[in-house]
């Protein structure tokens, strides 16, 4: 019976807040940043991002982002 190796953990951070300008990425108040969480892969991070984005759709200045933390932790790993 063959066992598969567990999937490589590729950490992603989801966070958001209200921006000062619709076209920028500067936050209006850093003390009000919403740290949604750290997720083990892009798929789960995307699900969390989408949920938060839909909850704040009435505020055009509110934005959520996905940061590929695994790229910062291991920048030489060009496979992902």
Q: Going residue by residue through the chain (80 aa), what tens digit of pLDDT does each one get?
A: 566 767 788 999 999 999 999 999 999 999 999 999 999 999 999 999 999 999 999 999 999 999 999 888 877 765 54
Instruction: Identify the CATH assignment for 7-19+40-80 out of 3.40.1410.10, 3.40.50.10420, 3.40.630.30, 3.30.70.2400.
Output: 3.30.70.2400
Half-sphere exposure of 48 (CA within 13 A, CB side): 20
Please report the beta strands in the chain, taking only residues with DSSP state E, as ranges in sequence order. 12-18, 34-39, 62-67
Write phi, then psi, for 46 (nearest 5 degrees): -65, -40
Question: Where are the alpha helices (H) located in 1-80, listed in sequence order?
Answer: 42-55, 69-73
CB within 8 A of 64, min separation 6: which ones? 14, 15, 16, 34, 36, 49, 52, 53, 56
pTM confidence score:
0.82
């Amino acid at each position: 019976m063959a066992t598969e190796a567990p999937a490589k953990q590729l950490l992603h951070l989801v966070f958001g807040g209200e921006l000062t300008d619709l076209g920028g990425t500067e936050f209006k108040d850093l003390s009000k940043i919403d740290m949604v969480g750290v997720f083990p892969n892009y798929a789960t991070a995307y699900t969390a991002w989408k949920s938060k984005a839909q909850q704040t759709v009435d505020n055009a200045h509110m934005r959520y982002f996905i940061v590929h933390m695994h790229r910062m932790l291991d920048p030489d790993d060009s496979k992902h």
